[in-house]
Amino acid sequence: MARLGNPLVYDLLVVADMLAMQKGRKNLRKASMRRAVSSAYYAVFHALCFVCASQLVGWSKANDLLEPVYRMLDHGSAKNRLTGKEAAAMAPAILEIGSRFKDLQEARHGADYRTPALELSRDLTLQHIAEARRIVDLIEALPPDDRLKLAILLVTKAR
């Protein structure tokens, strides 16, 4: 399976793993679990940004259009587009990416915004990280035509 050309995706997953294994006092571990879930989510988000930029512009540092396309993706609209009726009409893998992305985004929202009372165990954190890896694997496995369809879905307006 071909890896995406964006090393940030894989580095964020490594960071998530490192945070999930944090030792020390309880509040430090809780904060680390929250950041691990957030890092895992952002690995997937950056994978989607990479697909948009690489498919629609081409992955080249010399290209002035790369940055605006990479940054075009919005978290809420990405979730809505990936779980909407247009995604349902695409390849089953794209619909699966959308469903898993939605769940991971909800976990990230909880980790980033819920009160300190949120209990987030190491096991649950590791499950979220594994889910992020599964989503990245699904993105990597998309055939070129489906990657292009995914990129177009993510950056176009809903009709």
pLDDT at position 96 over 90: yes
Query: Is residue 135 a part of any domain in this protein?
Result: yes
Q: How many CA atoms lie within 13 A of 118 on its CB side?
A: 22
Q: To which residue do tokens 């259009």 refer? A: 65
157 confidence band (pLDDT: 50, 70, 90) = confident
Q: To which residue do tokens 């020390």 refer? A: 24
141 confidence band (pLDDT: 50, 70, 90) = very high
Query: Is residue 35 a part of any domain in this protein?
Result: yes
Q: Domain with 128 in it: what CATH number?
A: 1.20.120
Query: Is residue 2 a part of any domain in this protein?
Result: no
**Six token digits for residue 112:** 């980033």
Query: Is residue 149 a part of any domain in this protein?
Result: yes
Query: Is residue 36 a part of any domain in this protein?
Result: yes
Cα-Cα-Cα-Cα dihedral of 138, 133, 38, 91, to 10°? 10
Query: Is residue 108 a part of any domain in this protein?
Result: yes
* Residue 137: domain span: 7-155
- Which residue spans within 12-110 are E strands per DSSP? none
25 confidence band (pLDDT: 50, 70, 90) = confident
Question: Over the chain, what is the mean pLDDT?
Answer: 90
Q: To which residue do tokens 């396309």 refer? A: 69
Task: Write down the pLDDT at residue 24.
Answer: 83
**Six token digits for residue 115:** 């009160």
pLDDT at position 2 over 70: no
C-beta of residue 79 within 8 angstroms of C-beta of residue 102: yes
The total of other beta-carbon atoms located within 10 Å of residue 7's CB is 11
pLDDT per residue as tens digits for the range 50-68:
999 999 888 766 677 778 8
Total tally of structural domains belonging to the chain: 1
Task: Write down the pLDDT at residue 61.
Answer: 64
43 confidence band (pLDDT: 50, 70, 90) = very high
pLDDT at position 37 over 90: yes
Q: Taking residues 4-20, what's their average pLDDT?
A: 94
